[in-house]
Structure 1
Amino acid sequence: MVNFNGVIQDSDLQLTVSNRSFLYGDGVFETLKIVNNKILFFEDHYFRLMASMRIVRMEIPMSFTIEYLEEQILKLVEVLAIEDSARIRFTVFRNEGGFYLPTDNSISYVIQANKLDSIKYKTPKSQFEVDLYKDFIVPKQLLSTLKTTNKITNVTASIFAKENQLDSSLLINETKNVIEAANGNLFMLMGSKLITPPISEGCLNGIMRKQIITLAKQIDSIEVIEAAISPFDLQKADELFITNVIIGIQPITKYRKKEFEIRLANQLLEKLNNTIEA
């Protein structure tokens, strides 16, 4: 079952070949996690979605209040009986019509939901190896920071990782700085400094990124810095980890010949779970 424009329908809903998200990647989306019938960090997700729609000049319906979107999401998970723990994809796309220039900027949306096995965040994989993906770059621009339906770089980077028996790959921008992983934001611990690339580097404006920055700032021994990360920095790091809303924190255990600790990642994971339980 899916929620299409407020109506619960069979999950075999078929969009037409004129769908603009299919034709041009003319859509934005949010990936959300539900725990005990509560959407985690929903206010942050909501405002990012509204900002994304404005940036790509979509018409935001008057009905798109935070209360309405929450109601539509929770209605679907109730029908599916997966309120305890679920993954949500909320996709908004411009309605069909026109070529590159749309005939209008009105939108439709579809909500998909899948059950998750665990309520708490936990380390998905104990061994996690990555390498650089250099075939394509992510440009330093505002569009790169949004969750649009045009994620071909992330797709090809994920295929590259699989082909090379890696768990994920790290993306770079035009100045060859490392900005994120194919599946989430990147953090690097070097001594007492926890570093993550600033949004101006072209990385995703991640919701979990924001939460981890806040939690890390509560640790007196850690200084949180937003700064560019070069590939050479990775070899000198004490820890590397990836964050997104579904996995929480995934420690990177190996990059090329360098192996990493996971102590801070585990400490932050515990803090993250405590915020969910609060």
Structure 2
Amino acid sequence: MVNFNGNLIEPSDTFLTSENRGYRYGDALFETLKVVNGKIFFWEDHYFRLMASMRIMRMDIPMDFTMEFLEAQILKTVEANGLLNNTARVRLNIDRGEGGKYLPAPTSSISFNIIAEAFEEPFYSIKDDQSNEVDLYKDFFIAPGLLSGLKSNNKAIQIIGSIYAKENDLGNCLILNTNKAVVEALNGNLFLVKGDKVKTPPLEDGCLKGVMRKQLLEIMSKDVNLYIEEASISPFELQKADELFITNVIQGIVPITKYRKKTYGWEFAKKITDKLNTKIRLES
């Protein structure tokens, strides 16, 4: 079942038309959520990121778009799909409805839809036999700045980059900005580990304001033996790193095992994954 503006409908039913602004212009935002046994992981962070993104996009936030209202709508959708006592991957889509060209029509209004699907893993884990080779994606670049960091429906680079990765038997690609700094992976934020130093690109470089990124920065900041830095990463730094890993809410931490001729371990990534799972259990 799909939740369209609070109404549950069959997925086969038409609920978006060719006039929808999200379809026509990418005038839409989304959040990808992990829900386990009726608990939305990091819901407060998702909600406030969405609200901040709507403001940046100059969307009029409806009065009823409270954290409690949207949470209830998400869980309503999860339950309707028989996943309330299981693990679900949920996508919450927000668009500006219909009407207008680039400039929205005065009659355009905020619309939402929610979809839920089953997902295997309730908690985060790193498998010892995994392989995740990456390379730089250099056909196109993203612009530095906060607009590039929005979780919007404008994902052309991620789409083309994913096709490139598949064609070259890669597990993922790393994206560069116009300053030739490494910004993120196709589907998550990037962390670099060298000795006791952990580095991740700053939001100003154009990376996604990731919810999992925020969680890990908070966890690592409590370790007095670590030096955490939000700073630009040069491609030359990648092969000097001890570990590289990608983060997102659905998968958690995904180690990079190979970049060009350099191979990496994932000892640090495993330790942080354990701390992440501990935090989740304590907050549940």
Same fold (TM over 0.5): yes
The CA deviation string for residues 224-246 of structure 1, in whole angstroms up to 9 with x for no partner, is: 11010000000100000000000
* Distance in 2 separating the partners of 1:145 and 1:151: 11
Per the alignment, residue 174 of structure 2 pairs with: 170
Kept in 1: contact 2:145–2:203 (CA 8 A): no
Match of residue 115, structure 1, among 98, 115, 118 = 118
Kept in 1: contact 2:255–2:269 (CA 8 A): yes
2:98 counterpart SS class:
coil
* Distance in 1 separating the partners of 2:13 and 2:153: 18
Q: Please, which runs of 5 or more residues in structure 2 have no aligned partner? A: none
Q: Percent identity?
A: 53
Per the alignment, residue 18 of structure 1 pairs with: 19
Kept in 2: contact 1:123–1:247 (CA 8 A): no
1:250 counterpart SS class:
strand
Per the alignment, residue 69 of structure 2 pairs with: 68
Q: How does 1:96-135 map to 2 (within 5 A)?
A: 96-104=98-106, 105-123=108-126, 126-135=130-139
1:276 counterpart SS class:
helix
- Kindly provide the amino acid, as one letter, of the partner of residue 121 in structure 1: Y
2:44 counterpart SS class:
helix
* Distance in 2 separating the partners of 1:115 and 1:276: 20
Per the alignment, residue 266 of structure 2 pairs with: 262
Greater than 2 Å deviation, 4+ residue runs? 218-221
Per the alignment, residue 88 of structure 1 pairs with: 90
Kept in 2: contact 1:2–1:112 (CA 8 A): yes
Which TM-score applies when normalising by structure 1? 0.98
Residue 35 of structure 1 and its aligned partner are, at CA, apart by 1.4
Residue 123 of structure 1 and its aligned partner are, at CA, apart by 2.5
Residue 221 of structure 1 and its aligned partner are, at CA, apart by 2.3
* Distance in 2 separating the partners of 1:174 and 1:275: 36
- Kindly provide the amino acid, as one letter, of the partner of residue 256 in structure 1: R
Q: Does 1:136 align with 2:137?
A: no
1:86 counterpart SS class:
strand
Using the TM superposition, name which of 174-183 and 210-219 deviates more. Answer: 210-219
2:142 counterpart SS class:
coil
1:236 counterpart SS class:
coil
Which TM-score applies when normalising by structure 2? 0.96
